[in-house]
Amino acid sequence: MFAGPLDQSILRRAQEKHLVEIRVHDLRDWTHDRHRVVDDVPYGGGAGMVLKPEPFFEAVDALRQDESQVLLLTPQGERFNHAMACRLAEMRHLIFLCGRYEGFDERVRTLADREVSIGDYVVSGGELPALVLIDATVRLIPGVLGDEDSAGQDSFAGGLLDHPQYTRPPVYRELRVPEVLLSGDHKQIRRWRRKEALHRTLRRRPDLLDRAILSVEDQGLLSEIRTKEEGEMSNTGRGHEHR
């Protein structure tokens, strides 16, 4: 599950440039029976199998360093977001513990410095969430992205969703690229992009605006957006009255 994603694109280049080192460990390496068993039936009965505590404890004992941060991937954890990715990118050594099956023995939680979830749903194990955390974190390490401005312009980086992006051709199936992007007027382009980011955030994730740090210009752009939307709603209402 890890080999493909870790050997592609940004993650591959980051490792080739020695900006990050990623190692995958098999819990079976810390078992002591001939069948290398890592799970067992749950006490008290029930469906599924539960990962045993011993391999987790021995693995962390073997891998932990002075600066290690141990993260346990679980639906019960703190919701992962961009701010957490920024904090993780500043740490020198991360250990991700991935559950499977019906989960892990409750005692495994005592190993974790932090429990992390990628959302309110269940996947087959902690491997996919771990890959999400790795990808989101590694790209924030200085030098990983070819353009150092890329990470700063992503959605959530500045507390807002990203503005729309366009490329060639300028017209496709009667869908046109906004004229301002073809104008060469960088000041107007910057203003348009900021306004579109604010508009998109207002419509899709208004909760983000409550936490975002907005400039005086941002406040003015938001006022323009809200005034325009109120006018459109008013015109729509009058149209309904006429009908």
- Cα–Cα dist 166/66, whole Å: 46
Q: Which residues are catalytic?
A: 75, 102, 139, 154
Q: What is the DSSP letter of 163?
A: P
Exposure string of 146-159, with b = 16+ CB inside 10 Å and e = fewer, is eeeeebeeebbebb
Helix (H, G, I), strand (E, B) or coil at 46: coil
Q: How many CA atoms within 13 Å lie on the side-chain side of 68?
A: 15
